[in-house]
């Protein structure tokens, strides 16, 4: 029985390009982001994957990435479940600010602490720990059971909400989780055992780069 989960961070958004804290705001993809999403679909297709169900956040950049991936796979009518539990971390008062401007306002060390600590939230926002507390129960309740039934499941979401899932899948400590980089439009495939432990991890984007070199 195949128990396959694929995680994809959305393609580059307009606010990623402008170096802004995005959080729950809803900018669309850039042209580069559209191409990243399409390339993710092409990589999945080349690997022979098709999906039984897809999950995404409520934010446009993740939903559109999901649509573009499924379009590349010829699966435009696949059932897609949207839930704000998979939304990006809420950056509170930092939302919409240029990251350089935020450093000028609050100082380099304080902004770095908000961005890179596990449990210290920015003013009015969520810490990574808060994001894990929001996203992980949804994963365990709604997504993981689909995978364990033998389905191939696509989750298209955001850097921090996906880190919440990866923390459990890869059994990472909070410190290790903070170091875990997730690139836009880069599919990661997890094959799970019946007890939900990970049997195999395959980073399709890294594999494609290695194959081309």
Cα–Cα distance, 95 to 98 (Å, whole number): 9
Residue 115 lies in a domain: no
> Catalytic: 88?
yes
Q: In the chain, how many domains are there? A: 1
Query: pLDDT tens digits, residue range 146-178?
Result: 999 999 999 999 999 999 999 999 999 988 888
Is 122 among the domain residues?
Answer: no
For residue 172, being part of any structural domain is answered with yes
Q: Which of 2, 36, 84, 88 is catalytic?
A: 88
Most confident segment among 108-112, 152-156, 201-205: 152-156
- Domain span at residue 185 reads 4-91+132-212
Is 110 within the bounds of a domain? no
Residue 213 has pLDDT above 50, yes or no: no
CATH number at residue 39: 3.40.50.1240
Q: Is residue 99 part of a domain?
A: no
DSSP-derived 3-state class of residue 14: helix
- Region 133-138: mean pLDDT is 96
The Cα–Cα gap between 74 and 31 comes to: 21
Tell me which of 10, 36, 72, 126 is the catalytic residue. Answer: 10
Q: What distances in angstroms separate CA 125 from CA 19, 84, 109, 182, one per listed residue?
A: 18, 15, 17, 21
Has residue 151 been placed in a domain? yes
Please report the sign of the dihedral spanned by the C-alpha atoms of residue 90, residue 94, residue 97, residue 101: negative
Distance CA 58, CA 88 (A): 10
In a domain, 188, yes or no: yes
- Concerning whether 31 is annotated as a catalytic residue, the answer is no
Confidence of residue 67 (pLDDT cuts 50, 70, 90): very high
104 in a structural domain:
no
């Amino acid at each position: 029985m195949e128990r396959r989960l694929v995680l994809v961070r959305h393609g580059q958004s307009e606010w990623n390009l402008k170096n802004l804290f995005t959080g729950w705001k809803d900018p669309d993809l850039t042209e580069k982001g559209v191409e990243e999403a399409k390339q993710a679909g092409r990589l999945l297709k080349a690997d022979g994957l098709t999906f039984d169900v897809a999950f995404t956040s409520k934010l446009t950049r993740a939903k559109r990435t999901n649509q573009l991936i499924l379009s590349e796979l010829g699966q435009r009518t696949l059932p897609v479940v949207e839930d704000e539990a998979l939304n990006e971390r809420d950056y509170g008062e930092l939302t919409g600010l240029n990251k350089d401007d935020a450093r000028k306002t609050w100082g380099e060390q304080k902004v770095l602490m908000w961005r890179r600590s596990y449990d210290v939230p920015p003013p009015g926002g969520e810490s990574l720990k808060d994001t894990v507390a929001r996203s992980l129960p949804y994963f365990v309740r709604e997504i993981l059971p689909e995978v364990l039934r033998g389905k191939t499941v696509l989750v298209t979401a955001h850097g921090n909400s996906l880190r919440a899932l990866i923390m459990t899948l890869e059994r990472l400590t909070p410190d290790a989780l903070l170091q875990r980089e997730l690139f836009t439009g880069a599919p990661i495939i997890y094959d799970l055992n019946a007890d939900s432990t990970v049997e195999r991890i395959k980073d399709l984007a890294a594999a494609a780069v290695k194959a081309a070199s």
